[in-house]
């Protein structure tokens, strides 16, 4: 987004007057970019693929879809001639596009990121199920063209199929913040449409979404199979867990030191001061769901970034012993042909 880039440069020029370290400045600008995007958060019924009118759904507390088994969002990720068209329940009302930076007279606004979320039946948590990049949002419901797979199912959103990203059902880990007390304000609540930009309650969520989105854009090409994508999601889940448990990370560094337990690499020895106290923490068990809780240093290893990624290359992560064996095998002298 060129306009955002220029805006960031302007902010950076003002920040440069202060003694802010470059890394902290970059993080600040990154967070600022997230909070100033054209963003919508839309609550759907839960489905696995959103590509069929007959697909089973879980409506949760959404009364109309639950009573009538009718949810037009069932086709939100159905490709039709290189495009997808999406729906969200909005009680038949038109969208106020001014909340997305458009003028009151505009019929549509483009360049919108639409985050879709739904309540899963098992945990009853509101989870991100997918998103559109660079989407067009219409002020009024649009009627499909004759012969469309949607039939008479109207839609609000339109995007290129390559900009539509559906998260597999088993990898929908990112939870949308919801109010915990009846007096809490500024949350999505029971609404199906919400605008999270510039909302401090969703700042951390949007940072997590950006990590998820970047992972998807790197891994989501056609030549990457589904198992590899899901393993990437498990690695992301591990990263988020340790970000929330700094005491365990600190204890692991004290117990094991900051040299990689697999290959011996030490960041400080190689990079100098910038690498002091840096090492990644890896859990020994798969974090399959929210029930896994790691509490002691016996549950973790410390690894350099390269070894950590290699551990997660397999559907079942390698053990430390297995990774060490692989390294030893590669270091054996090779016979010349």
Q: Which residue has the tokens 């859990």?
A: 283
Q: What is the mean pLDDT of residues 91-114?
A: 90
pTM above 0.85, yes or no: no
Q: How far apart, in whole angstroms, are the C-alpha atoms of residue 241 and residue 245?
A: 6
Measuring CA to CA, which residue among 304, 297, 318, 311 is closest to residue 253? 297
Least reliable range by pLDDT among 18-27, 51-60, 100-109, 224-233 = 224-233
pLDDT tens by residue, 151-171: 999 999 999 999 999 998 888
What confidence score (pLDDT) does residue 321 get?
A: 93
Least reliable range by pLDDT among 108-112, 126-130, 286-290 = 286-290
Measuring CA to CA, which residue among 135, 139, 83 is closest to residue 111? 135
Residues in the chain, overall count: 337
Q: What is the mean pLDDT of residues 294-320?
A: 83
Element (H, E) at 146: none
SS3 of residue 151 by DSSP:
coil
Q: What is the mean pLDDT of the chain?
A: 79
pLDDT tens by residue, 235-264: 555 555 555 477 888 888 889 999 999 999
243-to-41, 166, 239, 249, 309 alpha-carbon distances in Å? 24, 25, 6, 9, 17
pLDDT above 90 for 137: yes
pLDDT above 60 for 222: no
Contacts of 58 (CB under 8 A, 6+ apart): 45, 46, 47, 118, 119, 120, 121
**What are the strands, taking DSSP E only, across the chain?**
39-44, 83-86, 108-119, 126-142, 155-160, 164-166, 193-194, 280-283, 300-303
Q: How far apart, in whole angstroms, are the C-alpha atoms of residue 202 and residue 63?
A: 26
Secondary structure (DSSP) of 91-108: TTPPP-GGGGT--TT-SE
Ranked by mean pLDDT, the top range of 58-67, 308-317, 319-328 is: 319-328
Q: How far apart, in whole angstroms, are the C-alpha atoms of residue 141 and residue 98?
A: 17
pLDDT above 80 for 113: yes
SS3 of residue 135 by DSSP:
strand
Query: Considering the chain, what percentage of its residues have pLDDT values greater than 90?
Result: 39
């Amino acid at each position: 987004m060129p306009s955002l880039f220029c805006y960031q440069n302007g902010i950076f020029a003002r920040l440069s007057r202060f003694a802010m370290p470059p890394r902290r400045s970059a993080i600040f600008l990154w967070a600022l970019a997230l909070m100033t995007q054209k963003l919508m958060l839309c609550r759907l019924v839960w489905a696995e693929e959103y590509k069929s009118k007959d697909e089973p759904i879980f409506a949760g507390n959404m009364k109309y879809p639950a009573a009538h088994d009718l949810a037009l969002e069932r086709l939100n990720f159905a490709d039709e001639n290189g495009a997808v068209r999406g729906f969200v329940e909005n009680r038949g009302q038109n969208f106020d596009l001014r909340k997305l930076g458009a003028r009151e007279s505009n019929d549509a606004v483009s360049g919108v990121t639409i985050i879709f979320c739904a309540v899963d039946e098992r945990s009853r948590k509101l989870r991100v199920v997918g998103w559109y990049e660079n989407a067009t949002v219409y002020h009024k419901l649009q009627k499909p063209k004759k012969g469309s797979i949607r039939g008479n199912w109207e839609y609000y959103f339109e995007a290129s199929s390559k900009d539509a990203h559906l998260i597999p059902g088993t990898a929908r880990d990112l939870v949308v913040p919801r109010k915990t007390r009846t007096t809490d304000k500024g949350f999505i609540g029971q609404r199906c449409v919400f605008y999270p930009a510039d909302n401090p309650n969703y700042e951390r969520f949007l940072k997590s979404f950006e990590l998820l989105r970047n992972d998807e854009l790197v891994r989501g090409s056609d030549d990457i199979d589904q198992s590899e994508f899901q393993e990437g999601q498990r690695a992301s889940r591990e990263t988020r867990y340790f970000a929330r448990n700094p005491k365990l990370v600190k204890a692991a560094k004290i117990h094991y030191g900051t040299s990689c337990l697999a290959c011996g690499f030490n960041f400080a020895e190689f990079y100098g001061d910038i690498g002091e106290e840096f090492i990644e923490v890896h859990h020994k068990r798969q974090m399959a769901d929210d029930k896994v809780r790691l509490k002691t240093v016996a549950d973790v290893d410390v690894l350099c970034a390269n070894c950590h990624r290699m551990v997660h290359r397999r559907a079942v992560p390698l053990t430390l012993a297995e990774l060490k064996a692989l390294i030893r095998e590669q270091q054996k002298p090779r016979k010349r042909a």
